[in-house]
Amino acid sequence: MQKIGIIGGGIRGHMYAKSLQHFPGADVRAVSDLSQATAQRTADTFGLAAYTDHRKMLQEVDLDAVIVATPDFAHRDPAVDAAERGLHLLIEKPLATTTQDAAAIEAAVRKAGVECMVGFENRWNPAVRRIRETAAAGELGQVLTQNILLSNTWYVPTRMLSWAARSSPAWFLMSHTVDVATWVNGRTVASVDARGSRGQLAARGVDTWDVVHALLTFDDGTTANLTSTWVLPDSMPSIVDFRLQAVGDRSAVQVDLHEQGVRHAAEDGLRFPGLLGDEIDGRLQGPPTWMVQHFVSCLNEGRPVGPGLRDGRAVTDVVLAVHESLSTGGTVRPGTHAA
């Protein structure tokens, strides 16, 4: 039985608590959030102890593992503090948004010898997993290129995320698709060329990139084209637009996750209800739920968790390279950027 604490009680922290509610082998005991109201709301819903200081939670509550569900830029302190107390970690993607933070987390985890998973939930997405298995089985042959689109409507940066100005479509969305692209083809990103635009979100009080395009070139010369935007109209039938295509020298495969098989036409417009986050028999389903349950099962069974630090650091390096290329207009090799 894993005794678990959650740092970050907002949308993701609440979801993780619900995902582990009644899950065999999981005992979620406490939640910490800088907002007392947020911490208390999640604590009251799931019968947890509520804290506004994660260090106090780590001192007072008997724990085996911690889930870090804080905003993109705020992973370092809770992750390092938990590792130093010998606690296993599930850290939301991205691992970190600076080289220094990523290095500090990596050093703390390795020194403590604890397990660390980075939350690349699309490895539990059935459609993405099928593409990965198709590629791994050799059915695609050499993966020549991938085209991956993952975007959100205005709602996400302007109303869902209070901290969107400290993130970007690259951090919030491309950290998913960079991991997907490298997982599917099993290659290392050798260089990044990125372009984008900004100004529309800034005009609404969120000073970050509106649109980001990134061309990844892998160590074998093959490529992936990634696009992420935060400016889709709110009239879209879903707040998430997610499409993947992988082209090999033997075959190609593609999937459209924007529409998950259900169209709901109502008086207020057409909607595409997301099926992967629904409940069945009162239990939450979907990739992030299956991911956190896998994390707990691995700990209980003494198996290593993953994706881990190596994958998390690689994605952070690539997204940092995306941002440097956006700023300079040049080609950037991941791991050699200035940020």
Cα–Cα distance measured from residue 109 to residue 308, given in angstroms and rounded to the nearest whole number: 11
CB contact at 8 A, 315 and 213: no
Please answer whether residues 284 and 181 qualify as being in contact, where contact means their C-beta atoms are separated by less than 8 angstroms. no
Looking at residue 18, its amino acid is K
Domains and CATH numbers, the chain: 2-114 (3.40.50.720), 123-275+314-328 (3.30.360.10)
CB 116 within 8 A of CB 309: yes
Q: What is the pLDDT of residue 264?
A: 73
CB 5 within 8 A of CB 63: yes
Which 3 state secondary structure label does DSSP give 272?
coil
Beta bridge partners of residue 280, listed in sequence order: 283
Encode the chain (339 residues) as per-residue pLDDT tens digits.
Answer: 999 999 999 999 999 999 999 999 999 999 999 999 999 999 999 999 999 999 999 999 999 999 999 999 999 999 999 999 999 999 999 999 999 999 999 999 999 999 999 999 999 999 999 999 999 999 999 999 999 999 999 999 999 999 999 999 999 999 999 999 999 999 999 999 999 999 999 999 999 999 999 999 999 999 999 999 999 999 988 899 999 999 999 999 999 887 766 777 777 777 777 666 677 777 878 999 999 999 999 999 999 999 999 999 999 999 999 999 999 999 999 987 554
Q: What is the pTM of this model?
A: 0.94
